[in-house]
Amino acid sequence: MLGALHPGGDILNHHALKTGRPWTGRKPILLVLLLVLAAGIASYFTWRGVKPAEASRGGPAPVPVAVAKAARKDVPIFLTGLGTVQATFTVGIHSQVDGKLQDVFFKEGQHVKKDDVLAKIDPRLFQAALDNAKAKKAQDDASLVSLQKDLDRFRTLGSKGFETQQNLDQQQAKVDSMKATIQADEAQIETVQTQLDYTDIKAPSDGRMGMRLVDPGNIVRASDAGMLAMLVQAQPALGTFTLPAQTLDQVREAMKRGTVEAIAYDRDNRNVLSSGTLQTIDNQIDPATASYKLKASFANIDEKLWPGEFINVRIKVDTRVKAVVLPNTAIQRGPKGLYVWALTDKNTAVQKMVQTGPQVGDITVVDSGVSDGDRVVTGGQYKLKANAPVSISDKPQSADNEES
């Protein structure tokens, strides 16, 4: 009964049955203590997440990580804004005189040159008006000749005392009046000639024609709100885009230094469409969006830029010379800010707080916290703890091999 109550009762009973006498002494107590101690050690390592095999080796197993080296390189700084393509000229083709649209000479989508005849209004009424104005002027020219001769005779008679000064003055007034009439005739001829010229509807600039909106045979008027077609000149093309207000000083400083390069990408920001230069900055910031507008010009020789198309415009505003750079994957964010896992000479990981600059492509400029040549972890960070040993699973590579 006492053996059953004793912590080592099973062992004592077994000994008593085998020898025929009870087992007394300190050995059972020592055995129980050893068992309790072993159970406590196993529980401790289980709570610490360390296997007994690891404990026997002296610590946790190394964490496999990918590593890169910080490097110095010249980093171009770009700003990118979403915008749209605009044509250099966008002109609605209208008739400037009233009449019947007689012919249309352009094809939809055709490239035209300045002063090419695009369409023609029936010119007959305007030609008749011109002929009438010219005839009226010829008639007035003849009348002026007659009046001028009469004035010359009045002057001759007047010099001899046979004509009064009043008659001479009246004749002079008739001559002057006829000269004014002839000037009005000339102005009328010019007006009618201009209207006749307007019956040939010409291209105001080089460009590409759009859809034809009026067919021949229709009556068109100068007061019509509708147009015959749209002409756009997209060589060069303009890109209007926006940037955040906090970048304004960077852009202005870049323009002071000289020409600012601009590159147009497609709306996915992958394919280059055209290269050009920044032309101007708008004179105000939109308070509703905290952004401002810019305009860039692109040669657009191959016409990859189409008016109305959405594009991304990237401009180069600066170059960070010999900046320390790291792969983007090395930068981590924690409660206290940005940090990286750096490796010591003993291949253990330690946290380093960093201050970062611009991010360009796959790399980030680091202003402080990391030096040239420092090894940092770029993969496997989620398994790391302070001073944890690591094993490098990938061959270390320098950050200057990263694409920018």
Residues of the chain with pLDDT under 50: 1-9, 11-12, 14-18, 23, 45-56, 397-398, 401-404
Give the pLDDT score at 17: 46
Task: Quote the radius of gyration of the chain (alpha carbons, Å).
Answer: 48
Whichever domain contains 157, its CATH number is 1.10.287
Query: In sequence order, what are the residues at sequence separation of 6 or more whose Cβ sits closer than 8 angstroms to the Cβ of residue 316?
Result: 76, 77, 78, 254, 260, 261
Give the pLDDT score at 168: 84
- Residue 64, preceding peptide bond in cis (omega within 30° of 0): no
How far apart are alpha carbons 316 and 71 in whole angstroms? 22
Is 129 domain-assigned? yes
Interior/surface letters 298-316, b for 16+ CB within 10 angstroms, e for the rest: bebeeebbebebebbbbbe
Is 392 domain-assigned? yes
Give the pLDDT score at 256: 94
Whichever domain contains 382, its CATH number is 2.40.420.20
Q: How many CA atoms lie within 13 A of 132 on its CB side?
A: 9
Is 46 domain-assigned? yes
Split into its structural domains, the chain has a count of 3
Q: Which domain holds residue 145?
A: 123-198
Give the pLDDT score at 41: 62
Q: Which of 181, 198, 215 is the last residue of a domain?
A: 198
Is 258 domain-assigned? no
How far apart are alpha carbons 386 and 323 in whole angstroms? 28
**DSSP three-state, residue 323:** strand
Q: Do 17 and 68 reside in the same domain of the chain?
A: no
Give the pLDDT score at 392: 85
